[in-house]
Each structure stands twice: as structure tokens, then as C-alpha cells.
Amino acid sequence: MEFRVLGYFLAVAREESISGAAEFLHLSQPTLSRQLKDLEDELGKQLFIRGNRKITLTEEGMLLRKRAEEITQLVRKTEDEISTFDDMIVGDVTIGAGETDSNRILAKVAKSLQQEYPLVHFHIISGDRVTITEALDHGLIDFGLVFGNIDQTKYHFMPVPYQDTWGILMRREDPLAAKESITAEDLIDKPLIISRQAFQNEEFKNFFGCKQEQLHIAATYNLLFNGALMVDEGIGYAIGFDKLINVSGDSHLCFRPLKPNIKASMSIVWKKYQVFSKPAQKFLKKLKQTISEGI
């Protein structure tokens, strides 16, 4: 499978027509059609459903599109790193991170590093643990900021000196808002809105214990902003971290910590045997220095 042909395939998937993709690629339609037919023959699968007005992808085609986009992004990232691999520190550092106050340390390190190397650019990709580890595994990001246990067979990691507090986001007029903290018993039979990765946290599972089977999970989220919207619309109570949603002023929402208190510790992780670009090397060095100095 040639990288060039993957680019042809992505163009057709994007344009949803052979003629549109051929015009974009500056190829003749017969040439492009033949390349796509050869690709289907090579894979032994039909990738397109050819309709009267547009082309759609089969299930196999949708899978190939996802993988082809990842491959294309990785190739471009590699080309950029190699083209800038000289004495100058120029390039990108890409970090996957969820919604957490611990992201402050990323901002501090980025600011400090850019004062020394202004041609280093930082990119934070938002996502939960599943999204971040998949991106790490595919080489699409350099580092990830995650909470919970780390698979030390796959990743190196470094704890960061921040902790987030688990609690409940609810509407201000709710009866539970009168309490200073929320227990597991308070939440039994209540419609809950939880992170899809919440029960990967052992402390969180221990908080509910055997009561997990009695929980009413009304919805899930991967970023708390969306969970807060559901709370505001009255769907239920969102379980998440503090300091992420504005609950001051005219907000309809309030936040109450869990009781007993649950703290989530964060770690910066990266793949074992990772070959870093120079900007990523400098970032990791600066991060270690920042943590050791307790800044």
C-alpha cells in the first residue's frame, strides 16, 4: 500500500466524488479510478459505495480512512521533526490532556521554555485517558497528562505536584446543594452523569463500593463542559473535578466535594523507547527541573 495512494483515497473520501477528487489532485478521472480499484484489489475489500450523486464509504472504508488520517499525520509530524533537526531548537511539542487544573504545570513549563526557545510551539489536544493513550500509542502526541494507575510496561511517567478533587456538579436549587459535601448514599438512585473513565480510578470505585450496582447512570461525558450543559438542562448530577466549571456569580450550578474526600493524582506519561524531537527533549528536561524545584 503506497502512501501516495492513501492520499488519493482520503481525497475521494473528503470530496465524496471521483471527479471532485481528481480535480483537486490534478489527475484524470480514469487514472484515479484505476488507482482506487487497485487499492481495493490489494486489500481484498470494497472501500466505496458508488452512488449516482456521491460516493460513500463502506465499513472497511471508514476504518481505512481513520488509519490513513493517522498515518498521514504521523508522516507529516516526522517530516517536520527531521527537517528542523539541526542546531536550532525549532518545532512542536504536542501534549494530550484532559480537563484538569494540573494543566497549569504544562502552561508554566511552556512559558518558561518559550522564553529560551521562542520558535518552539505547543499544542494541547483535549481528551480523556482513552483518547490520550491511543494518541500516544500511535505516535500522534509526545506526552500525555493522565490520572490513575500507569501501565509501566508501556510508558515512562512522572507525577506532577497537583491534585484534583472529585465532587458533584448540580443546580443551585437542588436539595443536595444545601450540604457541604456529598456521600455515596446521597447519590443512590439519583441520575448521574459521569466521565466514561471514572470507574478506572480505584479510589472512585471504592467510594461507591458494592453500591455501584444501585447507581443510575443517566449519561456519560469525556469533557466536563458537556457534562455541565447536561446538568444545567436538568438531566442529572455530574461527577467530576473541581475548578473546571465556573460556579460563581450568575451561574445556575454549584460544586460540592465528595465525602470521604477523593483526590486524583496526575502524571505526565510518554512511550517507552520514544525518540523525541529536540523541542520535546527540552520540554521534558524543563518539566523535570520545574517539578524538582517545586515551582
The model's pLDDT over 99-128, given as tens digits with 9 standing for 90+, comes to 888 888 899 999 999 998 998 999 998 888
pLDDT at 190: 93
Residue 238 grid coordinates: 455530574
Q: What are phi and psi of 210, to 5 degrees?
A: -70, -10
User: What distances in angstroms separate CA 92 from CA 30, 138, 224, 274, one per listed residue?
Assistant: 40, 17, 27, 16
What is the rounded average pLDDT of the residues 205-231?
Answer: 84
**Is 90 exceeded by the pLDDT of residue 234?**
yes
> Residue 212: pLDDT above 70?
no
Q: Rounded to an integer, what distance in angstroms lies between the CA atom of residue 91 and that of residue 83?
A: 9
Look at residue 195 and tell me whether its pLDDT is greater than 80.
Answer: yes
C-alpha cell at 243: 475548578
Task: Provide the CB-side half-sphere exposure for 200 (13 A, CA).
Answer: 12
pLDDT tens digits, one per residue of 248-290? 888 999 999 999 988 888 899 999 888 888 899 999 999 998 8
Beta strand segments in 116-215, E: 120-126, 143-147, 155-171, 191-195
What is the SS3 assignment for 54-114? Answer: CEEECHHHHHHHHHHHHHHHHHHHHHHHHHCCCCCCCEEEEEEECCCCCHHHHHHHHHHHH
Residue 294, pLDDT > 80, answer no
Kindly report the length of the chain: 295
Where does the pLDDT of residue 87 fall: very low under 50, low under 70, confident under 90, or very high at 90 and above? Answer: low
| Contact between 118 and 172 (Cβ < 8 Å) | no
In this prediction, residue 104 carries a pLDDT of 87
Instruction: Give the contacts of 193 (CB within 8 A, at least 6 positions apart).
Output: 218, 219, 220, 221, 227, 230, 231, 235, 236, 237, 238, 239
Q: What is the CA radius of gyration of the chain?
A: 24
Lowest mean pLDDT among 76-90, 174-188, 194-208: 76-90
As a whole-number percent, the residues of the chain with pLDDT over 90 amount to 34
The stretch 66-93 carries a mean pLDDT of 78
pLDDT of residue 210 exceeding 80, the answer is no
What is the distance between the alpha carbons of residues 5 and 21, in angstroms, rounded to a whole number?
12
pTM of the model: 0.64
Q: What is the mean pLDDT of the chain?
A: 87
Rounded Cα distance, 197 and 221, in Å: 9
In this prediction, residue 172 carries a pLDDT of 95
65-82 residues labelled b (16+ CB within 10 A) or e (exposed): beebeebeeeeebeeebe
Checking phi first, is residue 278 left (phi over 0); if not, alpha (psi -120 to 50) or beta? alpha
pLDDT at 84: 58
